[in-house]
Chains A and B, each alone.
Chain A
Amino acid sequence: MAITKICGIETEYGVVQRGVAESNPVTASSLLINAYVSGLAVPAAAGGPSVRWDFEDESPGRDARGAAPPDASPPDVETHLVNAVLTNGARFYVDHAHPELSTPECADARSVVVFDRAAEVILERAMAAADRVLPAGQEIVVHKNNSDGKGNSYGCHENYLMDRSVPFGRIVVAATTHFVTRQVFTGAGKVGVEASGLTAADVPYQLSQRADFFEAEVGLETTLKRPIVNTRDEPHADAQRYRRLHVIAGDANLAEVATLLKVGTTAIVLAMVEDDAFDRSLAIRNPVQAVRAVSHDPSLRRTIEVGDGVTMTALEIQFELLRQARKWADERGLESVGEDVGGDVLRRWEEVLTGLEADPDRVAGQVDWVAKRRLIDGWRARHDAEMGDPRVAAIALQYHDLRPERSLARRAGLERITTDHEVQRAVTEPPVDTRAYFRGRCLAKFGESIVAANWDSLVFDIGREPLRRVPMMEPSRGTEAHVGRLLDECSTPAELVERLSS
């Protein structure tokens, strides 16, 4: 039986400091995050500098395949940079010269959408806070994108909790098929191409920001020779029972429906892997080539080879995955992905595929690459401009701009599935249905007594030796239902730690 697909998104944002001779991205990212954290009403409780990130649990070099190949280069853990834990359970930090925000653990795809939008609000407020401390004429600008158009990429990663007993090889086959073909609705759109050997004459516009950067099928790396399926084996939970599938093959989306479908369909596919529910294997013959073939073809008609010489389009493969997902849902139910959310994902999955098949412009409110292309094509028609016009590149970039007064995505008529109210609340309050609830509530109530925090533990200073570590190895525990009353009743961290250990 598939386990609950607890999931989340980590986004590295593009960052520039304007008005300085040379923009230093590490300095700009640190300034941005520090400005946000120190501007909060209760800085310490909000996970300010006094709550340090606890690296005890970090082991990004562990490989899901067991022994890593000798040429694998595990990423370094950067422990010296800004690292804040927020009262909504999120982590806000500097990673690889980018501001990065990891949403709290969420119990379903819709909740991820809410916290992903809350992350945008946090970045917006961080920009405004930075503005207040920067000299006149300087500004820090954040983009939610994955490429600078000059060959540099940065990620938007997804994480899914999986049952450790499922063989990793089985995950690889299904995940690869989905990651290669889901681009038809997850792609955030890109003008031109960054894969070597191709020019904008070959690929004037493509579906995905990221597709040009995948060079391997499976691997541990995330910054070089990026693989379609990443093998980082760092569960941040009970490693005997769980693995965390770390997905690096996705675009950062501005369209809420695209985020819902990116996470929702992937959660379903992974739950199906756990239930061994595929009645037809759709192993893609040459996935690295196929990722690009799919992305480079906005007509959606190019075919890729699956199985024994059979060829299908990405849309056909997606329709086939949807058919199997419906069958799985009928037989096994949708409990592992949330009954209502799972049903909504299946319905919207079909709607979006059907729209893409008939005429992509019909899903301009749901799919980023379509929304962006529509802005570009309309603007070009008005100004009689070529695709190579620098203003076209500016529109494509500004689609991702998170400054409200500049954002084009927020003017593009994208469908909302969240409300402003719930997004605002998610800026400071954690989800109620995962362990993020415990982390967030503890930071809000006892922040000054928390000396360190990470995904699977909190360390309390209760006023006497020793420091007390509270482990949270079960991502589905520590919810409002489990500890809401306890947290209401305890007035000191000592009392909380006492009652938790009794």
Chain B
Amino acid sequence: MPEREQKKRTAPQREADDVAEVTDAPQASERGEEIKADIDDLLDEIDEVLETNAEDFVRSYVQKGGQ
């Protein structure tokens, strides 16, 4: 968590629905490249511990509904 100035703020309000404002997040691939560089060691580890038969494991993962 970066240190940031903690300031009190009030929530802005909008008069109209502005879903239209929603734009795509920064280029996904660019972000992915940055993360890849950031967590290189972790990705090594994921490749090591990831179930080898991933496809089967996910397909056979069926639960009974609960609460």
Whether A associates with B in a native complex is yes
**Interface residues of chain B: helix, strand, loop or mixed (majority):** loop
Q: How far is B18's CA from A150's CA once the two chains are assembled, in angstroms?
A: 32
Nearest A residue (CB) for B49? A406
CB-CB contacts of B18-51 with A at 8 A, as 1s and 0s?
1101111100110111011011001101100111
Report whether A316 and B1 are in contact in the complex, using a CB–CB cutoff of 8 Å. Answer: no
Report whether A377 and B15 are in contact in the complex, using a CB–CB cutoff of 8 Å. Answer: no
The reply to whether the CB of A382 lies closer than 8 angstroms to some CB of chain B is yes
Please give, as numbers and ranges, the residues of chain B lying within 8 Å of A358 by CB-CB distance. 4
Please give, as numbers and ranges, the residues of chain B lying within 8 Å of A96 by CB-CB distance. 64-67
Report whether B50 and A312 are in contact in the complex, using a CB–CB cutoff of 8 Å. Answer: no
Q: How far is B37's CA from A419's CA once the two chains are assembled, in angstroms?
A: 30
Please give, as numbers and ranges, the residues of chain A lying within 8 Å of B54 by CB-CB distance. 390-391, 393-394
The reply to whether the CB of A148 lies closer than 8 angstroms to some CB of chain B is yes
Report whether A299 and B22 are in contact in the complex, using a CB–CB cutoff of 8 Å. Answer: yes
CB-CB contacts of A312-325 with B at 8 A, as 1s and 0s?
10001101100100
Please give, as numbers and ranges, the residues of chain A lying within 8 Å of B51 by CB-CB distance. 394, 398, 406
The reply to whether the CB of A498 lies closer than 8 angstroms to some CB of chain B is no
Report whether B66 and A154 are in contact in the complex, using a CB–CB cutoff of 8 Å. Answer: yes
Q: How far is B51's CA from A154's CA once the two chains are assembled, in angstroms?
A: 23
Please give, as numbers and ranges, the residues of chain A lying within 8 Å of B14 by CB-CB distance. 303, 310-312
Q: With contacts defined as CB atoms under 8 Å apart, how many contacts are there between chain A and chain B in the complex?
A: 175
Q: How far is B45's CA from A98's CA once the two chains are assembled, in angstroms?
A: 30
A459 to chain B, nearest CB (A): 27
Report whether A377 and B62 are in contact in the complex, using a CB–CB cutoff of 8 Å. Answer: no
Beta-carbon contacts under 8 Å, A173-228 to B: 222-223
Known contacts being A96-B64, A223-B67, is A411 close to B36, with CB within 8 Å? no
Beta-carbon contacts under 8 Å, A289-305 to B: 297-299, 301-303, 305
The reply to whether the CB of A351 lies closer than 8 angstroms to some CB of chain B is yes
Beta-carbon contacts under 8 Å, A44-102 to B: 75, 95-98
The reply to whether the CB of A362 lies closer than 8 angstroms to some CB of chain B is yes
Determine which residue in B12, B17, B58, B66 has the highest number of CB atoms from chain A within 10 A of its CB, and name it: B66
Report whether B9 and A16 are in contact in the complex, using a CB–CB cutoff of 8 Å. Answer: no
A/B interface sample: 29 pairs, CB < 8 A: A14-B63, A25-B64, A96-B65, A148-B61, A150-B62, A153-B65, A155-B66, A155-B67, A301-B23, A310-B15, A311-B14, A311-B17, A319-B10, A354-B4, A354-B6, A355-B4, A361-B31, A374-B39, A379-B46, A380-B32, A381-B33, A381-B35, A382-B36, A394-B57, A394-B58, A395-B50, A397-B61, A398-B50, A413-B42
Given contacts A323-B11, A381-B32, A395-B46, 6 further A-B contacts (CB under 8 A): A14-B63, A152-B65, A361-B35, A381-B33, A395-B50, A413-B39
Interface residues of A (CB under 8 A from B): 12, 14-16, 25, 75, 95-98, 147-150, 152-155, 157, 222-223, 248, 297-299, 301-303, 305, 309-312, 316-317, 319-320, 323, 326, 347, 350-352, 354-355, 358, 361-363, 365-366, 374-375, 377-382, 390-391, 393-395, 397-398, 405-406, 408, 411-413, 415
